[in-house]
Amino acid sequence: MKKSFLILACCLSFVGWVAAQQKDEPRREKMEAMRAAYITEKVDLTADEAQRFWPVFNEMDDKLREIRKERRPDKKPISMTDAEADQFLNEFMRQEEQELAVKKDYYQRIRKLLPPKKVIMLFKAEREFKGELLNKMKERKGRGKQDMRGQHGGEE
């Protein structure tokens, strides 16, 4: 019961934080709240740990998101000149290095907030959540294709 309350409180505070950051992205907010609940449960964060951890983690996530936003190419690779593609690749590698530097910095900070085993559990929980999210997206995409076939199949 106590753990459920902690997860609910964490989700509510996280949703509020995300809503303040991105008012026009309800789907992303929902996904972020699910991720917070998932990580809180899998890492078994105490109320005190969650209170200290989430602001640091969210700050890291924001910085990584900003780096990734810059990564999107203006053109499709097939329509790039070799010089544009080369420039894009150089910029891509620079951004990868930036991302790694941000992760190293924040994981050092997180290691001061959580015991080492919980930091390892955090890595694992993040990977698992991404995997589950991808699986759900694949399922939805597959159902969408089946629904489309069902609508057009056999009825004339």
Give the model's confidence band at 15: pLDDT under 50 very low, under 70 low, under 90 confident, else very high.
Answer: very low
Task: Give the model confidence (pLDDT) of 93-152 as tens digits.
Answer: 999 999 999 999 999 999 999 999 999 999 999 999 999 989 988 988 887 666 555 555
- What is the model's pLDDT at position 141? 84
Give the model's confidence band at 80: pLDDT under 50 very low, under 70 low, under 90 confident, else very high.
Answer: confident
- What is the model's pLDDT at position 56? 97
Q: Rounded distance, CA 137 to CA 134, Å?
A: 5
- DSSP summary character for residue 75: S
Question: Which tokens in the block code for residue 52?
Answer: 């200290």
* For residue 45, pLDDT beyond 80: yes
Write 120-123 long-range contacts (CB < 8 A, 24+).
121/42, 121/43, 121/44, 122/39, 122/43
